[in-house]
Amino acid sequence: MQVLQNLINGKFVDVMTSEKLDVPNPATGERLAQVPVSTARDVDEAVVAAEGAFLTWSRIPVVERASYMFRFRDLLESHKEELAELVTKENGKNLDDARGEVRRGLEVVEFACGMPTLMMGQVLTSISRGIDEEMVRYPIGVVAGIVPFNFPFMVPLWLLPIAITTGNTMVLKPSERAPLSAQRIVELLLETGIPDGVVNVVHGTKEVVNRILEHPSIRAVSFVGSAPVAKYVYETAAAHGKRVQALAGAKNYHIVLKDAPLDKVIPVLMSSAFGNAGERCLAGSVVLVENEIADDFVGALQMAIDKLTIGNGLDPKNELGPVIREEHRQRIIGFIEQGVSEGAVLVKDGREAMKDHPGGYFLGATLFDRVNPDMTIVKEEIFGPVLSLMRVNNLEEAISIANRSKYGNTSTLYSESGHSARVFRETIQAGMLGINIGVPAPMAFFPFTGWKGSFYGDLHATGKDGVEFYTDKKVVVTRWLS
């Protein structure tokens, strides 16, 4: 049985702990590996390594730092099928989704290859007679990344390539529920010949996170995960003087207007709501449909759900894989029960599929109709294959309901009307918008711009925000006297 090791100063090392957690394949329950629960001392060792490496790595020319990313990109590209399989095995999403995840992670590495351009400062000559002014950027020091289970390959790569090509060194804490992809990422990174200590990995749970948040030598923390933990990370790390970006949970509203072509909308919404078993921070989880088309829409959704194939994501015929753990499945079932008790109409009950798929943490697609904005299933993030449908009179009503949400990660409008799309863009309170796009994930060169309770901080992950987050600026005003 593989027991994962931490990566400290370029070497994989055993963790001195008796506490280990199983990492099962959620499709079968079979144990894939064990992950050690590291302690604060392990974090301290990783930080010492990162601090030591920073002294030289930060002074290596940025073109040279970027050259490691070119090699890294080639290695990831040549291992992409193996990596996608690993994502499917540890997370449960189907192979197509896992391939997409690998692609999106690779794109950030490609983005970081351009760091010599991205890190450039600004110059303005003659701000006054004979005086010039320039702004130059520097890496900030040791930074930390704390990541979730749902994109175990992509999310570490939202952070790592930008953090290190800007000249920082890093301590990464993978999700204890899906740590294998992050482990493989750093194995491949070491193959590029990157200097020891530039990236360190500490596996574990709360204790590791708490030490990261308090450690005096860590300058910045990037967190991606659930809303309560994001808030805690933001507040604690900020109280310890750190720069923080904390990407949090979500509840995403999709709006379907009567002019939208139903046959085209259904597959897009199905993939948004039930792809990755609904375990996406950009998953559509509430759909607001104009009254005139609502009955037809529910009928078409029901038919599409009936056709969904459920099973192990390694089999290409399967569309809906398992959720991450039995406890998580039980939590989702709790939400379904609550929806029923609060009076929502259960059109499709995903629990029925469970008996046909023993062994893994499978749950069929669930559809609720006639929900209202005060129901728990509408307000809280379920993070599973559950879609709630609400009937509305028009776009304005839909937007005002969506804007009551405490979250604001993403929202999608289905319509062919430019006017409606403009009203939607101008008034919806969410940071990533789709117009007929079910999962409007920004590309690596754009920021991942959650709003409201979906994000804590100022500078978002990826894009130029990522470069800003991982750099300090100096402004120099110059006058030559002779």
Contact call for residue 383 and ligand NAD (CB under 6 A):
yes
Q: Of 6, 25, 38, 150, which one interacts with ligand NAD (CB under 6 A)?
A: 150
Stretch that binds ligand NAD, among 87-95, 268-276, 390-398, 446-454 (CB under 6 A): 446-454
Shortest CA distance to 200 belongs to which of 5, 406, 459, 432? 5
Shortest CA distance to 325 belongs to which of 409, 399, 388, 384? 384
Shortest CA distance to 310 belongs to which of 358, 377, 345? 358
211 and 203 Cβ atoms separated by less than 8 Å? no
CB atoms within 10 A of CB 154: 24
166 vs 409 by CB, closer to ligand NAD = 409
- Nearest approach, Cβ of residue 257 and ligand NAD (Å): 27
Contact call for residue 206 and ligand NAD (CB under 6 A):
yes
- How far apart, in whole angstroms, are the C-alpha atoms of residue 94 and residue 280? 13
Stretch that binds ligand NAD, among 141-149, 182-190, 252-260, 315-323 (CB under 6 A): 141-149
395 vs 428 by CB, closer to ligand NAD = 428
182 vs 392 by CB, closer to ligand NAD = 182
Phi, psi dihedrals of residue 480, rounded to the nearest 5°: -95, 130
339 vs 384 by CB, closer to ligand NAD = 384
| Residues 450-469: x where in contact with ligand NAD by CB under 6 A, - otherwise, as a string | x---x---------------
Contact call for residue 420 and ligand NAD (CB under 6 A):
no
Contact call for residue 175 and ligand NAD (CB under 6 A):
yes
456 and 248 Cβ atoms separated by less than 8 Å? yes
- Nearest approach, Cβ of residue 451 and ligand NAD (Å): 10
- How far apart, in whole angstroms, are the C-alpha atoms of residue 413 and residue 267? 14
- Nearest approach, Cβ of residue 177 and ligand NAD (Å): 6
214 vs 349 by CB, closer to ligand NAD = 214
Please, which of residues 209-268 interact with ligand NAD by CB under 6 A? 209, 224-226, 229, 247-250
- Nearest approach, Cβ of residue 230 and ligand NAD (Å): 7
Shortest CA distance to 222 belongs to which of 477, 460, 478, 425? 460
Please, which of residues 53-92 interact with ligand NAD by CB under 6 A? none
- Nearest approach, Cβ of residue 66 and ligand NAD (Å): 25
The encoded tokens of residue 371 equal 């929900």
139 vs 450 by CB, closer to ligand NAD = 450
Q: Of 448, 456, 469, 470, which one interacts with ligand NAD (CB under 6 A)?
A: 448
- Nearest approach, Cβ of residue 302 and ligand NAD (Å): 27
The encoded tokens of residue 33 equal 């590996």
- How far apart, in whole angstroms, are the C-alpha atoms of residue 1 and residue 4? 10
Active site residues: 281
| Residues 5-44: x where in contact with ligand NAD by CB under 6 A, - otherwise, as a string | ----------------------------------------
- Nearest approach, Cβ of residue 431 and ligand NAD (Å): 9
27 vs 461 by CB, closer to ligand NAD = 461
The encoded tokens of residue 61 equal 């020319």
Stretch that binds ligand NAD, among 104-112, 147-155, 314-322, 411-419 (CB under 6 A): 147-155
| CA dihedral for 49, 53, 58, 63, sign (positive or negative) | negative
Contact call for residue 149 and ligand NAD (CB under 6 A):
yes
114 and 108 Cβ atoms separated by less than 8 Å? no
Contact call for residue 269 and ligand NAD (CB under 6 A):
no
Q: In this structure, are strands 451-452 and 218-224 parallel, antiparallel, or unpaired?
A: unpaired
CB atoms within 10 A of CB 85: 16
Q: Which residue is nearest to ligand NAD (CB)?
A: 225
Number of residues that bind ligand NAD (CB under 6 A): 28
- Nearest approach, Cβ of residue 182 and ligand NAD (Å): 10
62 vs 377 by CB, closer to ligand NAD = 377
- Nearest approach, Cβ of residue 82 and ligand NAD (Å): 23
Give the footprint of ligand NAD on this chain (CB under 6 A). 146-151, 155, 173, 175-176, 205-206, 209, 224-226, 229, 247-250, 281, 381, 383, 409, 448, 450, 454
